[in-house]
Amino acid sequence: MNIDLSKEVNDHFERLVKLSKEATEATDESISSRASGMKALSEIIRDLVKTQESIINMERLQRIEKVTISTLKEFLNEDQHKEYLEQLTETLSQQD
């Protein structure tokens, strides 16, 4: 299954905006209750923005990796290319 993470983050953001409008327009709740709700929504939005930034960075790195591998195919022989991919895989699998 392939999930479009950018779309998911955007959908959640739109829901939060709608909830935020409803919370600020609600007159039957106390000010502190609305403030607590807005604080929680702000934290969720902050987390969504961080997630979106991570997704963008991940997509950029994947494109860089594809271009690098494609370029190396042109300039390395098959054994060198295989060795590069093995080293890349090993390096990427290591824990920081």
- Give the pLDDT confidence of 20-77 residue by residue, as tens digits: 777 677 666 676 776 777 788 778 878 878 888 888 888 899 999 899 989 988 898 9
The residue with greater pLDDT, 40 or 90, is 90
- Tell me, letter by letter, the H, E, C secondary structure of the chain: CCCCHHHHHHHHHHHHHHHHHHHHHCCCCCHHHHHHHHHHHHHHHHHHHHHHHHHHHHHHHHHHHHHHHHHHHHHCCHHHHHHHHHHHHHHHHCCC
The residue with greater pLDDT, 16 or 86, is 86
Q: What is the pTM of this model?
A: 0.55
Q: What is the pLDDT of residue 17?
A: 79
Q: What is the pLDDT of residue 47?
A: 85
Q: What is the pLDDT of residue 5?
A: 67
Q: What is the pLDDT of residue 67?
A: 92
Q: How far apart are CA 43 and CA 41, in angstroms?
A: 5
The residue with greater pLDDT, 53 or 9, is 53
Cα-based angle 73, 77, 83 (whole degrees, multiple of 5): 85
